[in-house]
Structure 1
Amino acid sequence: MAKAQYEIGVLFSQSGPYGVVSRSMFNGAMLAFDEIRASSGYPFALSPVVADPVGSLAQYAHSSSDLLSKHGVHHVVGCYTSSSRKDVIPLFEKYDALLWYPSHYEGFESSSNVVYTGAAPNQHIIPLIEFLLANMGKRAYCIGSNYIWAWENNRILREALSAGGGTVMAERYFAVGDTDLSKTITAILEAKPDFIFNTLIGTSAYHFFRSFRAVCEESGIDQPAVMPVVSCSLSEPELGEIGTLAMDGHISSSVYFSSIDTPANQRFTSAYRKRWPSSSAASADAEASYVAVKMLAAAIAAADSDDVNAVRNALPSLSVDAPQGRVSIDGATNHAFLTPRIGKSSASGQFEVLWEANQPVRPDPYLVQTTPRYAMRSSAPKLRAVK
């Protein structure tokens, strides 16, 4: 008997200002499709239908419409930026399809037509803030790309620091892809913050890391020790883009680092290197895309159909043994239980894991349960040192 065939949309930009991250997401998704195709454990086949929006915000809506109407797909794994996600959600609601969104994001959103396999704010920015207040001081300088990801993360940081007795000294925003940052770098050196909170993405971020390190070295400043740059999005492929002269000493909050030392992650990173030998190391973005496809396949198997309602109903009872650890979906929010971690980049292009949660953390996209107006509470998830 022939297997059922289900077409699944794949929507990632493989070029443009954030193409490095999006290509890693594409790689993670395609690795999962390969493994499902090679496995005898699925009574169906998944066929990816690939669309490349080439980093153009307008193209995301056009490509989504094409996938949903012309190809008739019910599920699409894709989008990196929050701008692209927010642009396409009305289309998924119109066609009652599911967008599987595999990116950490700023939260304050929920849709019955989106499954979020990337980190919610209580799984990446709140643990980072706790770490900063405990280890790095209370004076922040914020620099970010001029869209909702940076605005909302900076708002959360501002309110949390204020509640903890700290302050945001300044916020500066730049268009995605902008690299004219010299005046802000000079202002940062004059302000002397305890840390710089970076929400720049893509080429803007890589240029900032290089330029800031170079200016600090010219001034005799040990930048990682004196004015560390901290992020909620910096990943392994991006360290290579920053370059060997400035890739080390940066703090990043994530639910996955490729250096996690577990059998499941060793299998994943080995398969990733074999499938994409010319690519850099696997990243949180690649892992979240991989998890999205694996979770979708598990839900289709449980529902015995790719029907959106049937898949949605199946999700809360499922979990996958992901490279980061056990991942499941919270039926109330369509967000994933994930394991927060804090890492420090090294000159080898990897992250040393400094802290991690004891177990997967329930998603709280609106920060309703995690904090009262973002003030840190004793009941917040505790982090433990990794020896």
Structure 2
Amino acid sequence: MPVGILYSVSEQYGGIGREMLNGIMLAIEEVNANEAMDFTLAPVIYDPGCQLENYYRYCRELLYRHGVKHIVGCYTSASRKVILPLIEGTNAMLWHTARYEGYESSDHVIYMGAVPNQHVLPMLDYVLKHERPEVYHVGSNYIWSEEIDRITRDMLDMHEGKMVASRFMGLGETDVTPIILDILARRPPVILITLVGISAYRFYQVWKAMSVEYAFLREAAPTRLSLTLCEQEVAMIGAEAVEGCLVSAVYFHSIDNVQNQKFASCYRQRFGEHAVPTVDAEAAWMSGQFLAKGIQASGSDDPPLVREAVYGIELDAPNGKTRINRENNHASLTPRLARIGADGKFHLLWQAPSPVSPDPWLTWSDLSR
């Protein structure tokens, strides 16, 4: 059975795309080696190179030329939204693996990444308990950062906090010095960073370089919050540039459970002894596992039948027990907070006692808690 893979593994956020590709490929190889499965999955891979027009063109090729019914892919919300009409118009299924801003629920998408009540709200809860609630937000100029900004403002307003400033940069933009100088002038206690790809890498590296001259950036440094940093990016940026950052995610390589130990071991065997799985790789891996189990349970790769079968499956995943919510097609996931140490590792500070049901519309989550 052909499965479309649509991840950008080149250009400004290609590093994350590579992690996602690794995750789904590992899952497909495990499924194909499993004698209990009476089918095999054949990946058809395209690299859109972070260009929205390529996402649309390659998605169309996957659907019409290759006849795929399931596509695993997309990192940015912009890329997801540009292909969604094609997915819905052909009654196909998109397995979306990235953390995202929520406020969407399509019958033709299985959302494997965390939504705000699973990663944004836990981080803001921590800020409200441990920091002065004055936040300076710097992010990439697209849907995800804009929605995170709105949610953060709403929660701060409810707790008599404030958004000191919001600064957005174009995807791939690297001139971060003016923003860091503005931070120096305003001296906020908390920085929320939703930059992605090379924009984020440059921000952390320039911050480190400027800290030599500006004591505030090293001695009285504000708490830096990230919703995107992962192990692979720390290796790219350099641990010394991101040491102390507080990161919210549903998966870290440092999770201590049997499922994660097995997953990490298989990941190293497949991609090299120094390879470390990330939250993006784990989400893509889960997509492949759910897809295969859904096909097996339904006896078909027909998207509606697979979707219905998936609702009845619980996956004992590295991040914890995971199910797909029938009401909104999003995954239950276990929120966690970690701080990056001088060793470049993510040291867990907190984790939810059990998986948290997805609330993509923030209809029942209490922002005033």
With normalisation by structure 1, the TM-score equals 0.93
Letter in 1 for 2:343: S
* 1:1-387 aligned within 5 A: 6-221=1-216, 223=218, 226-277=221-272, 280-371=275-366, 375-377=367-369
Aligned-partner Cα distance in 2 for 1:228–1:216: 14
Aligned-partner Cα distance in 1 for 2:22–2:62: 19
Deviations 1:97-146 (A, max 9, x none): 00000010000111001000010110000111101111122000000101
- Contact 2:114/2:331 (CA < 8 Å) preserved in 1? yes
- Number of equivalenced pairs: 369
What is the Cα deviation at residue 288 of structure 1?
A: 0.2
> Residue 224 and residue 72 in structure 1: after superposition, are their counterparts in 2 closer, same or farther (change >3 A)?
farther
- Contact 2:267/2:275 (CA < 8 Å) preserved in 1? no
My pick for the range that moved more, 300-309 or 244-253, is 244-253
What is the Cα deviation at residue 48 of structure 1?
A: 0.9
Aligned-partner Cα distance in 1 for 2:223–2:6: 34
Identity level (%): 42
Cα RMSD for the two superposed structures: 1.3
Letter in 1 for 2:265: S
SS at the partner of 2:290? Answer: helix
What is the Cα deviation at residue 263 of structure 1?
A: 1.1
Letter in 1 for 2:237: I
Deviations 1:195-250 (A, max 9, x none): 11001000000110111122233222364863121011111111112113313111
- Contact 1:337/1:363 (CA < 8 Å) preserved in 2? yes
- Contact 1:102/1:292 (CA < 8 Å) preserved in 2? yes
What is the Cα deviation at residue 280 of structure 1?
A: 4.2
- Contact 2:210/2:217 (CA < 8 Å) preserved in 1? no
What is the Cα deviation at residue 313 of structure 1?
A: 1.2
My pick for the range that moved more, 94-103 or 279-288, is 279-288
Deviations 1:122-175 (A, max 9, x none): 000011110111112200000010100100001100110111110001001111
> Residue 157 and residue 42 in structure 1: after superposition, are their counterparts in 2 closer, same or farther (change >3 A)?
same
Aligned-partner Cα distance in 1 for 2:177–2:275: 29
Letter in 1 for 2:368: M
Aligned-partner Cα distance in 2 for 1:274–1:189: 45
SS at the partner of 2:331? Answer: strand
Letter in 2 for 1:18: Y
SS at the partner of 1:206? Answer: helix
| Displacement over 6 Å in runs of 4+ | none
> Residue 53 and residue 279 in structure 1: after superposition, are their counterparts in 2 closer, same or farther (change >3 A)?
farther
SS at the partner of 1:141? Answer: strand
Aligned-partner Cα distance in 2 for 1:323–1:335: 17
SS at the partner of 1:238? Answer: helix
